[in-house]
Structure 1
Amino acid sequence: MAVTPVSAVRGVAGTAIDRASTVLRERMPPLTALPLPEAIDRRLLRQRWPSGELATPPAGSGLRPVLGDAGAPVVGNTLTQMRFGVQYGLERFERYGPVSWTGAFGRRIVTLTGADATQVALVNKDKAFSQEGWRFFIDRFFHRGLMLLDFDEHRMHRRIMQEAFTRDRLAGYVASMGPTLREGIASWPRSPRLYWALKQLTLDVATRVFMDMRSDDEAREINRAFVACVRAGTALVRFPVPGGRWRAGLEGRKVLERYFAENLPAKRAGDGDDLFSALCHARTPDGERFTDTDVINHMVFLMMAAHDTTTITSTAAAYYLAKHPEWQERVREESLALGDDHPDTAALDGLTSLELVIKEALRLVAPVPSLSRTAVKDTEVLGHYIPEGSLVGVAPSVNHFDPSCWSDPHTFDPERFAEHRREDKSHRFAWMPFGGGAHKCIGLHFGMFETKALLHELVRSHRITVPRDYRVRWDYVSLPVPVDGLPVHLQPV
């Protein structure tokens, strides 16, 4: 076990913590100045539980223990974390530093916060961290999806899957999604709950692009099954209780497995250009290919990954465009310049202002706010002892607000990603909405193309507005979702 000298990390971590603490104090007004419900929220967020050590470091190791707290009896810090999301993470960072532990989901979970701690886990030089952490949360619903595989097996599956995400394949996917996006947005009411409208639209795109399946009763059943599987992963009651999210997720998984198994022979025999067909025919130069079971598992996982993250990102970007009309007009001008044709990948690459907005939205609202790992042997992070078997959570959403990497991190400022600034280059893991290391999202280019194509269609046809005093609140029960669905008004351009 490699040991990093404590003196080498204390200065870096301490500086980051001090800066984060300053930001938090500036953002949090005195409790007496807040309306009652918000004052209660602040008190809940600042609730202090008795702290203690995760485990005693080996004698003579020179390592420090990981400090943290178990939270409230029975539920731990689970509900607080779900309610406050990033704000909760920043509070923990201020209180305990970049390595801490918390009680949640009936477990003690080590949390790694900040770019340096993140790098240790995601680069994983000593292979001390496995994807077993994800399996704890979602294996029953996304069994053997790419994100849940480890080491050599993961590399082999990723190598095969890469054949479904070549530039030519991406161009085909983009071409097929254009009409679905335009028709879907044209059918929206003038004052939709934007998150739910976008969720249905991205599900329609996923069923069309990934499965060549038109929207009908069967597609709606498939969509409901995916939603049930996603929500089940963070269920507090992790048993198939009638009416519970866990049971709904298990039933949803059965629906998905049955659908893909019934349609797989035709995809194997055909020459379609959808993702399902691509996975059936993907083959490396060495002849490696997926079994039928592999294809089913990967399709279930990719459908979830493709539509949920795009929904969250496009919702957040649309919200910030509504709050910052000067950026909305700048983005619209670029989109209108493309004309009426559905944009191809080259045209989407040219929407530079929109890409800046999307990157900033990904920073402010990371669609996957936490990445799960398990320590497969005793190890250390920034001089802290982490014993074998520890469940570990990496917090990219908190990294996105680290003042040691970002100027005025709570401000919407897309120009921070422009070439003359590139604050995202301040650290390899300062900005990581697609994860990092060997498990970096294989579909990140597809996701950017889809989000661009969607927002392009929206801004070229509508002006997005929200009331001047409106502020969105994100619910972190599973992935970030606006509590009220984000009501907006769409004015035809």
Structure 2
Amino acid sequence: MPSISTTDYVLDQAKRRLKPTPVTIPGMGAVEKRLKDKHWDQFVLAEPPAGSDLKPILGDAGLPIIGHMIEIFRGGPDFILEIYRKHGPVYFAESPALSSVMALGPDATQAVFSNRNKDFSQRAWDPVIGPFFEGGLMLLDFDEHMFHRRIMQEAFTRSRLTGYVSHIDSVASAVLANDWVANDPRFLFHPAIKELTLDIASEVFMGVPAGTDRALVTTVNQAFTTTTRAGNAIVRKPVPPLTWWRGIKARKTLEDYFSSRIGEKRRSESTDMFSVLCHSADEDGQSFTDDQIVSHMIFLMMAAHDTSTSTMTTMAYHLAANPEWQDRLREESARIGDGPLDIEALEKLETYDLVINEALRMMTPLPFNFRQAIRDTDLLGYYIPAGTNVVTWPSINHRLPELWTDPEKFDPERFAEPRSEHKKHRYAFAPFGGGAHKCIGMVFGQLEIKTVVHRLLQNYRLELPRPDYQPRYDYGGMPVPLDGMPIVLRPLH
């Protein structure tokens, strides 16, 4: 096998592909045949340096032009799990969107997330969401990331979280009691809960009380939705009126909004997260610039509402499909009563923790994570050239029968003692990522979910629209139910 340099390995891929003759059958073209049979032309990513004892990574390009986009959008983690079973923990997928080495399984996930030698950078996110969330915590690296994280931690202390809970509760209680449609099999849970989490984010993060400036909140929320969706664009150029261009315009709307209010937030002593970031400093007294605050607010608003929306949508389906668990949660809620909530009350909802974790396991809101090798390195003994994108899929770890009993079954007890199946491997369960970039807002998210679902179950019994209903998902980014997830809400009072 001839040697290949690091700098030209991408250009060399086309020359190294094996070219088996596609089989054509009557009524089905070669492309459709290959999609059906999963028969791809393989090639070597790059030959390891002589004498290194590292193994080369095999890969393929999928279908012409579109690569594996159809399988990923349709199957998501199921398709990636198929690759893991067939090719092992390290495999290269060439793609028109983002060619990358797939680091699959718990050992590969641990190697990338722990990043002991700082070989992997967050810059792989740049071509995916960079124009929309530049400067957000997830896109920062190493010392810069730790500097920003230390300051931002002030917004997620227990005392701060205590203040946020009352705001979450007031918004959720008002919306669930007055705005949601009962007894309607056409009620769509996903868009409804997304609107609620955006309303919560508007009050908790921006300091705009729900209902006080509906036009402003609607404009900002629409900009967040557009910006978030832009990362799924097929054409990744600012061409009007396509998705990428709309995302960049929406980012500008958000920048203008937050920039125009920084002065008043710096002068105020409000408890919303926007104000907290304007006043936060590390132990050396260093604080954020105006531009940094704007970037962090845009990213935090996106991260906070989208992940909670996804998790509560999954919970709603499984609670409707498994009413015995709905009853258990409602009984636990009854023990803390219907008074104002605080962190101490929410911490008593221990069965909720089991159900939340099981929802995160079965439908992980962020199923993948991107990194980029900043130098020639290795991954589980495979050669990774500098500049290679690496994508981990923690969500497939959540589906491995060697780690989880009957992984396709909704079974929250798996997280309780003595089973504790999530402890079989450090990265058997990693819905919040890991290492230095583990989600800074995960406790906030859990408190929000507990608060909303507690109030939801106090008002309604959740039922499926029909006994055999099962949702289907679009996996183009965060998993989204294609039909909006119809759930019937039966009033309890």
> TM-score when scaled to structure 2?
0.90
2:146 matched residue in structure 1? 155
Do the aligned partners of 2:57 and 2:383 also contact (CA within 8 Å) in 1?
yes
Gaps of 5+ in 1: 1-40
Tell me if structure 1 keeps the 8 A contact 2:34–2:40: no
Q: Deviations over 1:163-188 (max 9, x none)?
A: 11000000000111111101111211
User: CA contact under 8 A between 1:268 and 1:280: conserved in structure 2?
Assistant: yes
Question: Aligned to 2:372, what secondary structure does the other structure show?
Answer: strand
> Does residue 109 of structure 2 align to residue 115 of structure 1?
no
C-alpha distance in 2 between matches for 1:329 and 1:67 = 50
TM-score (norm 1): 0.90
SS of 1:380's equivalent in the other structure is strand
Report if aligned partners of 2:238, 2:244 keep a CA contact under 8 Å in 1: yes
2:397 aligned partner: 399
Aligned-partner SS, 2:238: coil
Amino acid at match of 2:448: E
Partner deviation per Cα, 1:23-71 (whole Å, 9 max, x = no partner): xxxxxxxxxxxxxxxxxx9994652211121111111111111112111
8 Å Cα contact 1:45-1:84 kept in structure 2: no
SS at the partner of 2:132? coil
Q: Secondary structure at the match of 1:330?
A: helix
1:100-158 CA-partner distances (Å, limit 9, x unpaired): 11122344211111110011111001111000111221110001100000000101100
> Aligned residue pairs: how many?
454
Identity of aligned residues (%): 48
Does structure 2 retain, via aligned residues, the 8 Å contact 1:163–1:278?
Answer: yes
Q: Does 1:96 align with 2:96?
A: no
- Aligned residues: CA RMSD: 1.5
Aligned to 2:194: 199
Q: Which residue of 1 aligns with 2:41?
A: 50
Structure 1 letter corresponding to 2:194: K
**Structure 1 residues 339 and 118 mapped into 2: Cα distance closer, same or farther (>3 Å)?**
same
Distance 1:468 1:65 in 2: 49
Partner of 1:435: 433
Distance 1:400 1:340 in 2: 34
Do the aligned residues in 2 keep the contact of 1:176 with 1:209 (CA within 8 Å)?
yes
Give yes or no for the alignment of 1:483 onto 2:467: no
8 A contact 2:368–2:395 mirrored in 1: yes
Which of 260, 263, 280 is equivalent to 1:262?
A: 260
**Residue 62 of structure 2 is aligned to residue 71 of structure 1:** yes
Match in the other structure for 1:463 = 461
Shift of 1:246: 0.4
Query: 2 CA distance for matches of 1:45 and 1:426?
Result: 35
Counterpart in 2 of 1:13?
A: none
* SS of 1:393 mapped into structure 2: strand
The CA deviation at 1:430 is 0.8
Name 2:472's counterpart in structure 1: 473
CA–CA separation in structure 1 for the residues paired with 2:37 and 2:488: 36
Per the alignment, in what secondary structure is the counterpart of residue 446 of structure 1? Answer: helix
Who is 1:17 aligned against? none
| Contact 1:356/1:418 (<8 A) preserved | yes
SS in 1 for 2:490: strand
Q: 1:243 aligns with which of 230, 241, 247?
A: 241
Q: In the alignment, is the contact (CA less than 8 A) between 1:78 and 1:103 conserved in 2?
A: no
**Cα displacement string for residues 415-472 of structure 1 (whole angstroms, at most 9, x for unaligned residues):** 0111221111111111011100000000000000001111111111100000210111
| Inter-partner Cα distance in structure 2 for 1:464 and 1:316 | 12
Letter of the 1:458 counterpart: L
Which range is displaced more, 467-476 or 295-304? Answer: 467-476
Conservation of the 8 A alpha-carbon contact between 1:45 and 1:80: no
Q: Is 1:230–1:478's contact at 8 Å kept on the other side of the alignment?
A: no
The Cα offsets for residues 8-28 of structure 1, whole Å up to 9 and x where unpaired, read as xxxxxxxxxxxxxxxxxxxxx
Q: Distance in 1 between matches of 2:340 and 2:460?
A: 16
Equivalences for residues 88-487 of structure 1 within 5 A? 88-186=79-177, 187-190=179-182, 191=184, 192-214=187-209, 215=211, 216-466=214-464, 467-487=466-486
Stretch of structure 1 that moved more, 218-227 or 340-349: 340-349
State the shift of 1:238 in Å.
0.4
